[in-house]
């Protein structure tokens, strides 16, 4: 295990905007291949900023961050970002939305179509390939967004509260589907969420963050083996992990000395 | 549901129109005004039939000028907006002057246009362009600046270059804004052309536009024909607006929220 290079490595990273307040401080974290790490914490703890740093959409201030051994921006070809809302282009059909990353890289049309079709099948949406986004439900839009992120077979997937706007039943189903997709097309995942049970169900590691400034408070290992079945949610061990993470969240949510 | 829709869209305007025409006739009868001051709708229709060759030729002439100016405004407006929407410094340096051009009444510029472009079609097209250019630029520039920041981030994540971002994201996202600008321009273009014909038009080869007819009928005190010219101008305006409304539908109805969701 010692020889496997990390997918992401934060070394004493700090992030602030100009001379403004420190957003993230003293971040030290090593992400191993095939980790599924969830970041959870009070709002303003900078969990989304972590993803922006890794994607290179936002630069770090001091300290070091490498993604697959190189600077974040240089690793963009091997990572994909799934946003809070599905961010589909409304003037393109589901199929053409999934093709977009390939199109932007100048891949030939036949190849684009084949890959996009396959990805839509993977998320169970082959039948609505020719629908426009406004004809799709929230859950379907998010599935298209996942399919789009997977077209380039990324090694690292960044997910910023992707299921936050969905109802709980849809969210649970998409959690299961995300793990199923991951079994077919393996990727390392950094996942930001507000839902403890979602984090426990998906991840092998949960990072609880604190705010003011944003920092890593505690880490919880979730050792349930993959593939995980929906029944896992009813298991007492699952509930114990949910309780443990919830307790850690309470620690950081108590306002300091006020 | 469908029935009340057609009642409100066809029957109600028809009834109010008939009431209006009835009032018109009674005003004429009660006031005892003469035909050359207030012609009846019937007299106007008779004049329209009598003058139909001149009216149609003039309408064709005006349509040409309006279309020329409109297309010029649509094309130049598109490229101007690209410059303004994509470069902050160009926007800062050019927008105040565009606004100034818009604030200057066209009537003041007309003698200058006549001096530079000459009378006839070039002058008319220039005036039409001037009057329909700004709404297109204002709308499309706004549209190019309103791109969803998450979409921009998505393109950046895919290592899209600047051109891809403009052509595949910013321009299509701004399309509804462009069409809104074109719709305003379509209502203005025939007005611009008629005004231009009135001011700088001439009847080359015996044909002038509707603006020239206004001048001509007015000096001949052919008042019913003048009303018929107004009616023709109105119809021409409708044709322009309908054409852009069709374009708007063709480009947006499948995906844009301004159209009703298609059922499956």
Q: Is B163 exposed, middle or buried (0-12, 13-18, 19+ CB in 10 A)?
A: exposed
pLDDT in tens, B46-57: 999 999 999 999
Residue A126: how many CB atoms within 10 A of its CB? 14
pLDDT at position B46 is: 95
B216 near B208, Cβ under 8 Å? yes
B147 near B170, Cβ under 8 Å? yes
Q: Which of B150, B159, B173 sits opposite A85 (nearest CB)?
A: B150
Cα–Cα dist A246/A256, whole Å: 18
Residue A17 DSSP class: S
**CA of B153: which chain A residue's CA is closest?**
A57
CATH superfamily of B51-252: MetI-like (1.10.3720.10)
B176 near B256, Cβ under 8 Å? yes
**CA of A82: which chain B residue's CA is closest?**
B154
pLDDT at position B201 is: 67
Residues 6+ apart with CB under 8 A from A127: none
- Pick out chain A residues at pLDDT < 50: 1, 258
**CA of A104: which chain B residue's CA is closest?**
B160
Q: With 90 as the cut, is the pLDDT of residue B4 above it?
A: no
pLDDT in tens, B246-260: 999 999 999 998 887
B208 near B25, Cβ under 8 Å? no
B108: closest CA of chain A, how far (Å): 43
Phi, psi dihedrals of residue A46, rounded to the nearest 5°:
85, 20
Give the CA distances from residue B46 to residues B23, B50, B52, B221, B224, in Å, rounded to whole numbers and listed in that order.
19, 6, 10, 16, 8
Q: Which residues of A touch B154 (CB under 8 A)?
A: 81, 83, 87
Mean pLDDT, chain B, rounded, equals 90
**pLDDT grade, residue B162 (50/70/90)?**
very high
All structural domains of chain A with their residue ranges: 8-87+153-253
Cβ contact, residue pair B255, A80, below 8 Å:
no
Cβ contact, residue pair B172, A91, below 8 Å:
yes
pLDDT at position A258 is: 45
* Placement of tokens 């971040």 in the chain: A27
Cβ contact, residue pair B168, A80, below 8 Å:
no
pLDDT at position A155 is: 95
pLDDT at position B157 is: 92
Q: Which of A55, A84, A135 sits opposite B261 (nearest CB)?
A: A135
Q: With 70 as the cut, is the pLDDT of residue B5 above it?
A: no
The percent of residues in chain A predicted with pLDDT above 90, rounded, is 88
A208 near A249, Cβ under 8 Å? yes
B246 near B65, Cβ under 8 Å? no
pLDDT at position B111 is: 86
B237 near B52, Cβ under 8 Å? no
B167: closest CA of chain A, how far (Å): 11
Q: Which residues of B touch A89 (CB under 8 A)?
A: 151, 169, 172-173
pLDDT at position A96 is: 97
Cβ contact, residue pair B150, A83, below 8 Å:
yes
Q: Which of residues 141-160 of B touch A (CB under 8 A)?
A: 148, 150-151, 153-160
Q: For the residues B103-108, what does the mean pLDDT come to?
A: 90
The class level of CATH for A8-87+153-253 reads alpha beta
Q: Which residues of A touch B170 (CB under 8 A)?
A: none
Cα–Cα dist A59/A39, whole Å: 19
In a mutational test of the B interface, the residue from A57, A67, A81, A89 whose CB has the highest number of chain B CBs within 10 Å is: A89
pLDDT in tens, A2-20: 567 899 999 999 999 888 8
**Secondary structure in 3-state letters for chain B:** CHHHHHHHHHHHHHHHHHHHHHHHHHHHHHHCCCCCCCCCHHHHHHHHHHCHHHHHHHHHHHHHHHHHHHHHHHHHHHHHHHHHHHCHHHHHHHHHHHHHHHHCCHHHHHHHHHHHHCCCHHHHHHHHHHHHHHHHHHHHHHHHHCCCHHHHHHHHHCCCCHHHHHHHHHHHHHHHHHHHHHHHHHHHHHHHHHHHHHHHCCCECCECCHHHHHHHHHHCCCHHHHHHHHHHHHHHHHHHHHHHHHHHHHHHCCCCCCCCCCCC
Question: Percentage helix, strand, coil, to 5, in chain A?
Answer: 40, 25, 35
Q: Which residues of A touch B151 (CB under 8 A)?
A: 87, 89
* Residue A218: strand, helix, or coil: strand
Cα–Cα dist B118/A213, whole Å: 70
Q: How many CB pairs under 8 A join A and B?
A: 56
Give the CA distances from residue B76 to residues A25, A29, B83, in Å, rounded to whole numbers and listed in that order.
51, 54, 11
- pTM tops 0.95: no
pLDDT at position B204 is: 60
Q: For the residues B121-133, what does the mean pLDDT come to?
A: 93
Query: Does A132 contact chain B (CB < 8 Å)?
Result: yes
Cβ contact, residue pair A132, B164, below 8 Å:
no
Query: Does A91 contact chain B (CB < 8 Å)?
Result: yes
Cα–Cα dist A248/A82, whole Å: 27
**CA of B174: which chain A residue's CA is closest?**
A91
Q: A212: left (phi > 0), else alpha (psi -120 to 50), else beta? A: left
Q: With 90 as the cut, is the pLDDT of residue B234 above it?
A: yes
Residues 6+ apart with CB under 8 A from B217: B223, B225, B226, B229
pLDDT at position B264 is: 45
Q: Which residues of A touch B172 (CB under 8 A)?
A: 89, 91
Cβ contact, residue pair A104, B255, below 8 Å:
no
Kindly give the residue spans of alpha helices, DSSP state H, lying in A130-234.
138-150, 168-184, 196-202
Q: For the residues B65-94, what does the mean pLDDT come to?
A: 95
All structural domains of chain B with their residue ranges: 51-252
Residue A206 DSSP class: E
**CA of A132: which chain B residue's CA is closest?**
B255
Cβ contact, residue pair B157, A91, below 8 Å:
no
Cα–Cα dist A214/A26, whole Å: 9
In a mutational test of the B interface, the residue from A77, A91, A94, A160 whose CB has the highest number of chain B CBs within 10 Å is: A91
Whether cis (ω within 30° of 0) applies to the bond prior to A213 is yes
């Amino acid at each position: 295990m010692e020889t496997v290079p990390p997918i992401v490595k934060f070394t004493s990273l700090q992030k602030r905007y100009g001379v403004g307040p420190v957003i993230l401080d003293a971040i030290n974290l090593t992400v191993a291949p095939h980790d599924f790490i969830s970041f959870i914490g009070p709002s303003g703890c900078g969990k989304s900023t972590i993803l922006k740093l890794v994607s290179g959409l936002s630069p770090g201030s001091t300290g070091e961050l490498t993604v697959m051994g190189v600077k974040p921006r240089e690793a963009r070809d091997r990572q994909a970002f799934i946003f809070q809302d599905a961010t589909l282009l409304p003037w393109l059909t589901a199929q053409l939305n999934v093709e977009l990353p390939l199109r932007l890289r100048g891949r030939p049309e036949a190849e684009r179509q084949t890959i996009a079709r396959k990805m839509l099948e993977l998320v169970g949406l082959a039948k609505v390939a020719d629908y426009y986004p406004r004809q799709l439900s929230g859950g379907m839009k998010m599935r298209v967004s996942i399919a789009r992120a997977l077209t380039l077979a990324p090694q690292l997937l960044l997910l910023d509260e992707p299921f936050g706007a969905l109802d709980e039943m849809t969210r649970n189903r998409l959690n299961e589907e995300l793990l199923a997709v991951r079994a077919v097309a393996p990727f390392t995942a950094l996942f930001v969420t507000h839902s403890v049970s979602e984090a426990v169900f998906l991840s092998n590691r949960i990072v609880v963050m604190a705010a003011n400034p944003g920092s890593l408070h505690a880490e919880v290992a979730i050792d349930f083996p993959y593939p995980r079945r929906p029944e896992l949610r009813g298991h007492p061990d699952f509930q114990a992990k949910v309780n443990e993470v919830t307790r850690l969240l309470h620690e950081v949510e108590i306002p300091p000395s006020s | 549901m469908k029935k009340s829709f057609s009642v409100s869209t066809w029957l109600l305007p028809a009834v109010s129109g008939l009431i209006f025409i009835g009032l018109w006739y009674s005003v004429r009868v009660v006031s005892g005004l003469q035909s050359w001051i207030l012609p009846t709708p019937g007299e106007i229709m008779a004049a329209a039939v009598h003058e139909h060759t001149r009216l149609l030729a003039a309408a064709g002439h005006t349509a040409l000028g309006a279309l020329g100016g409109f297309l010029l405004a649509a094309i130049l407006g598109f490229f101007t907006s690209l410059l303004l929407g994509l470069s902050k410094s160009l926007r800062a340096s050019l927008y105040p002057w565009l606004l100034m051009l818009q604030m200057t009444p066209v009537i003041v510029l007309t003698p200058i246009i006549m001096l530079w472009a000459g009378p006839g079609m070039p002058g008319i097209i220039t005036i039409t362009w001037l009057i329909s250019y700004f709404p297109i630029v204002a709308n499309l520039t706004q549209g190019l600046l309103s791109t969803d920041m998450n979409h921009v981030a998505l393109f950046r994540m895919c290592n899209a270059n600047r051109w891809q971002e403009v052509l595949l994201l910013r321009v299509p996202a701004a399309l509804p804004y462009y069409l809104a600008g074109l719709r305003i321009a379509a209502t203005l273009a025939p007005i611009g052309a008629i005004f231009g014909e009135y001011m700088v038009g001439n009847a080359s080869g015996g044909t002038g536009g509707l603006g020239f007819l206004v001048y001509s009928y007015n000096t001949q005190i052919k008042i019913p024909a003048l009303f018929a010219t107004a009616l023709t101008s109105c119809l021409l305006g409708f044709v322009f607006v309908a054409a852009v409304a069709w374009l708007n539908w063709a480009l947006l109805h499948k995906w844009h929220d301004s159209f009703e969701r298609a059922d499956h």
